[in-house]
Chain A
């Protein structure tokens, strides 16, 4: 295969970020070179991701999907990397928040941090996220999850204080358990289907008889995997680690944790439910004693939809109500993240429940656009909190006030981020909310609409409270002494500009999201690209 084809592009972002991580590790004694390499690597990552998005998805003659068979081992035996619209959309999101956070870190970290493992870890975190978005193998997904988690464990413990260590311990304990559950799901699927390659799984589950498999256990196994991904995404009832972990990690890393790591959970739910399990014909019939049948359908998606509805509704309420009562900026934003992931999960649930193809695609587009908005807006807000904290030394609402007068540009950034969360036009958040409401209205589910309106009201309540308490009001002593670094302001304003640009020039973003949703639903295209059908393949060749 000649170098320079879309196929080679697929592995490019991973290679770039891996090389950068190793180089920054080696350059430990030379902080200046380390920061330089880190930034160059970050820029290279953005270029590689842009190239994937353009040549694979957006260009007029783009193939729509590209695969890379690692070590030239053919699927389903080797590990396949797959870049399709969905992966490219997610990667673009990660690249945007990744480079912003990196520039922010490069400028603002004290000398001591530049000598520590901050930058190598940052790139390993990106590596894990990128690998998770690109891999086409279920066990490999587990491995990338671990890479991402290991880096994030250390970031949570990074400041090394009593509460950071404690938060890290709970975070590690929870995720070790989740890893064990993930392995249970993976093992069960292998025993059921005899393969772990995602395309091969989709193919076998669609025609179980031809491969001599009984897809019966799939729904239960999917439930196991769904709970693991819900932990990563922070959906209720698996949200409890988020506030402590987000409060403990450095704010610029939390921007990436909320903007990228969380989305890995969402991505995994989308990929597994719609690309792999959508074709499986399994009767789902869940009955609650005394109530009767609550979920019934012929596909595991019926179960995914019902479970996600419940989790999403609870997330919106828990996140919104929790955020209203917090006393620190990070606490508010952490709870807000729980609620916002609920807003992303609602359209995913609608897509899983409905049988109409147009509505299903529209709902996934809504979820993706909302996820993009959440990444940008929450990233901007967490970075603003980082700026506030390093300027004033505090992030407690009680110690803040009058920041708007002290630093108008910082106030603008925070204001726009908050408005984007609420969903005011012409910001990116408006279209996210609009599409989510549109999908819910078309699905014709009144309780969901009521829930969404309630969640939006809660969002307005906590953003207003945060704004009033920290940016308006009388200037406190901590704020009066504060000076905000101009480079940080520059980074914040650049991200603010991005949010505005996404909202104003929404057409291409919508097309990208639409291509991503189409890719998520195009099971045949995915299977064909990864592992072209052999005319006599049916018959179940077991390894």
Chain B
């Protein structure tokens, strides 16, 4: 069940991110990038898989109850933490850049930003 929900969430996030990336408004593009990044993070978490927990793997629960819920892989959580920090920084940078683009061009419409040349 959890796996099914996770798959749905990842799919929905990627769809939303892609949709926003294709907008003409630069801020929406930044939003799209942030959401695609988060979708990748959720996917990464899901890739660790869920395993039956026991008191060996979750020692903090020992002595605090009788059953241990299914647990996620701690390694992917460490990876995602790193990825979140990076994407947080990059989103901030992209927002600053888009403000700078606005200052230089007086518009945030991608189609009016002019030729790449």
- Among A161, A176, A191, the residue within 8 A (CB) of B47 is A191
A243 to chain B, nearest CB (A): 8
Whether the Cβ atoms of A161 and B43 lie closer than 8 Å is: no
Whether the Cβ atoms of A190 and B101 lie closer than 8 Å is: no
Whether the Cβ atoms of B89 and A173 lie closer than 8 Å is: no
Interface size class of A (residues with CB under 8 A): 20 to 34
Whether the Cβ atoms of A173 and B94 lie closer than 8 Å is: yes
Closest-by-CB residue of B relative to A183 is B40
- Among A153, A162, A188, the residue within 8 A (CB) of B105 is A162
Interfacial chain B residues near A161, Cβ < 8 Å: 104
| Cα separation A157 to B94 with both chains bound (whole Å) | 11
Determine chain A's interface SS by DSSP, over half rule: helix
Given A176-B90, A188-B47, A183-B83 contact (CB < 8 Å)? yes
Given A143-B86, A166-B114, A183-B41 contact (CB < 8 Å)? yes
Within A147-187, which residues are at the interface with B (CB < 8 Å)? Answer: 150, 153, 157, 160-162, 165-170, 172-173, 176-177, 179-181, 183-184, 186-187
A204 to chain B, nearest CB (A): 15
Tell me the count of chain B residues lying within 8 A, CB to CB, of chain A: 36
Q: Is A531 an interface residue (CB 8 A)?
A: no
Whether the Cβ atoms of B101 and A165 lie closer than 8 Å is: yes
Interfacial chain A residues near B44, Cβ < 8 Å: 183, 186-187
- Among A162, A176, A181, A183, the residue within 8 A (CB) of B33 is A176
Q: Is A244 an interface residue (CB 8 A)?
A: yes
Given A146-B86, A176-B33, A179-B87, A187-B47 contact (CB < 8 Å)? yes
Whether the Cβ atoms of B79 and A166 lie closer than 8 Å is: no
Interfacial chain B residues near A117, Cβ < 8 Å: none
Whether the Cβ atoms of B86 and A157 lie closer than 8 Å is: no
Whether the Cβ atoms of B40 and A169 lie closer than 8 Å is: no
Closest-by-CB residue of B relative to A192 is B47
Interfacial chain A residues near B41, Cβ < 8 Å: 183
Q: Tell me the B residues contacting A by CB distance below 8 Å.
A: 21, 26, 29, 33, 36-37, 39-41, 43-44, 46-49, 73, 75-76, 79, 82-83, 86-87, 89-90, 93-94, 97-98, 100-101, 104-105, 113-114, 116
Ordered by A's residue number, 11 sampled pairs between the chains whose C-beta atoms are within 8 Å are A143-B82, A160-B100, A166-B116, A167-B116, A179-B37, A184-B40, A187-B43, A187-B46, A187-B76, A190-B47, A190-B76
